[in-house]
Structure 1
Amino acid sequence: MRRNILITGASSGLGEEMARQFAAKGHNLALTARREDRLKALQAELTAAHPNATILVHPLDVNDHAAVFETFKKTDAELPLDRIIVNAGIGKGAPLGTGRFDANLITAQTNFTAVLAQAEAALELFRPRNTGHLVFISSVAAVRGMPKSVTTYAATKAAVATLAEGLRLELLGKPIKVSTIFPGYIRSELNEHVAKTPLIVDTVPGVRAMVAAIEAEKAKAFVPSWPWVPMARILEFAPLPLLKRMI
């Protein structure tokens, strides 16, 4: 079934590749991000590859909360949305107490407060018609607290997962679906500076697993399932001394 999908943070990384893969599946897309030039380049690429698909782009800084509501409503008027993927996020951060509150603050604002705005805006569209699919992109880092530069990032992703679960509980048995996707270590612009490691997955196969879970409307999915389903269980129950050695 052809869907009308809005993806935030679609100008790079996982969002950009999700756009490519959803377009290849025949869906219409509305893509938002701060970098309009990259959005337009992606729009041209996808329109050329999939001429029967509608590909809309709108510049959006998700930290401009008024703009989030305005852009979601405007897009829905152009292309009635039945799936919204809350994907925009950043990976900045520093160990707490090292003088980089600025980096941790913008991470908290972008990865949680802006997510809350997107969820509000999405549900303002979905609730009146009692249908829709709201997708939150969290992270395997949400499973446990993480040290050093990842502490704030992991905390925001845990907050996103809890927000999504609360909504899923509220909407259980109703036509509005809520999914939480927990990507493992997938190559993207957030981690392009990191050397190849045994657990990192290239962007295309990693996003393919994300797209499959979203298409199946799974409530929760750790992706790719190998090694991240068993790894998430290990992370969840490992005592702190073992966890510190692992990470």
Structure 2
Amino acid sequence: MTLRKTILITGASAGLGEGMARLYAAMGRDLALCARRTDRLEALKAELLAAHPGIRISVRALDVLDYEQVFAVFRAFAQDFGGIDRIIVNAGVGKGQPLGTGYFHANRKTAETNFVAALAQCEAAMEIFRAQKAGHLVAISSMSAMRGLPRNMNTYSATKAGFAALCEGLRAELLGTAIKVSTLYPGYIRSELSAGAKKTPFMVDTATGCRALVRAIEAEPAEACVPRWPWTAIGFLMRNLPLKLVARLG
């Protein structure tokens, strides 16, 4: 399997993005890290270079809702390193409220961040990969994409399902080429995004979840539930349960 030496991660200043960056640094990979909070990126860069002086790290500010900036930042990273081997579209938000309750602004931001901004990142990534004729695009979706979910999860699950469908279509287009597309469906992983969530079964800590994500990414599957157990089985159930049972998940 091709060694992906240079890895770009969005939303890298905290949570799963930061955790994956730490693991890839320990593996000797070069990193292109971007997020809105540049102070945290700079601190992470200094820490990782001190621990792993043989790697290269470039950091840039990125608000994924600034679509022109998405393209500019991805192109700049590609110029920094002479190309990018893997791009992990990780940035996202988890806000949402039941439709019709006066929170369109929150649902709109979730939809724009998790789908339109993800589309912009995929466009920018594919521009690089098509020019290189190689690369690995990784979409961080969610187990919530398996089924339309009610209440606060409604818009979130819809955006993550849309993102997964976008990448499946891209994967179909690229079959037989040196450009690979993987969609990962994380289960309950404790992070800043889920810090306010109620206690849930099968929740794993950030470090455990990030190790599972990196293992899955390195295998370059078309799709994978993460961690594999129990989420592969849960995913099958979510897709096939009667709607009245799915309604209890939101």
Match of 1:96 among 83, 96, 99: 99
Q: Which residue of 1 aligns with 2:77?
A: 75
Aligned to 1:48: 50
| CA–CA separation in structure 1 for the residues paired with 2:247 and 2:103 | 23
In 2, Cα distance between the equivalents of 1:62 and 1:123? 16
Q: What TM-score comes out, normalization by structure 2 length? A: 0.96
Aligned partner of 1:176 among 172, 179, 197: 179
Query: Which of 39, 61, 70 lines up with 1:59 in the alignment?
Result: 61
Q: Is the 8 A contact 1:2 1:28 kept in 2?
A: no
Q: In structure 1, the residue corresponding to 2:210 is in which secondary structure?
A: helix
When residues 130 and 58 of structure 1 are mapped into structure 2, their CA distance, relative to the original with a 3 A threshold, is same
Question: How far apart in 1 are the matches of 2:245 and 2:228?
Answer: 23
Alpha-carbon distance, 1:207 to partner: 1.1
Unaligned runs of at least 5 residues, structure 1: none
Q: Report the CA distance between 1:246 and its aligned residue.
A: 4.9
C-alpha distance in 1, partners of 2:164/2:200? 26
C-alpha contact 2:25 2:31 (8 A) present in aligned 1? yes
CA displacement at 1:187 relative to structure 2: 0.5
Which digits, 9 at most, give the CA deviation of each residue in 1:112-168, with x for residues without a partner? 001111111111111122100011000000000111111101100000100000000
The residue number in structure 2 matching 1:158 is 161
Q: What residue in structure 2 maps to residue 185 of structure 1?
A: 188
> Could you tell me how far apart the structure 2 residues matched to 1:115 and 1:194 are?
23
How much does 1:179 deviate? 0.5
Contact 2:4–2:86 under 8 Å retained in 1: no
User: What is the letter of the counterpart of residue 80 of structure 2?
Assistant: E
What is the alpha-carbon distance in structure 2 between the residues aligned to residue 242 and residue 93 of structure 1?
21
1:86 to 85, 89, 94: 89
Residue of structure 2 equivalent to 1:135: 138
Give me the whole-angstrom Cα distance separating, in 1, the residues matched to 2:201 and 2:145. 21
Number of corresponding residues: 247
User: 1:2, 1:26 within 8 Å by CA — same for their partners in 2?
Assistant: no
Equivalence for 2:10: 8
Contact 1:13–1:190 (8 Å) recurs in 2 = yes
TM-score normalised by L of structure 1: 0.97
C-alpha root-mean-square deviation of aligned residues, in Å? 1.1
Are the equivalent residues in 1 in contact too, given 2:94–2:156 (CA < 8 A)? yes
Offset of residue 198 of structure 1: 2.5
Q: Report runs of 4+ in structure 1 exceeding 2 Å deviation.
A: 194-198, 244-247
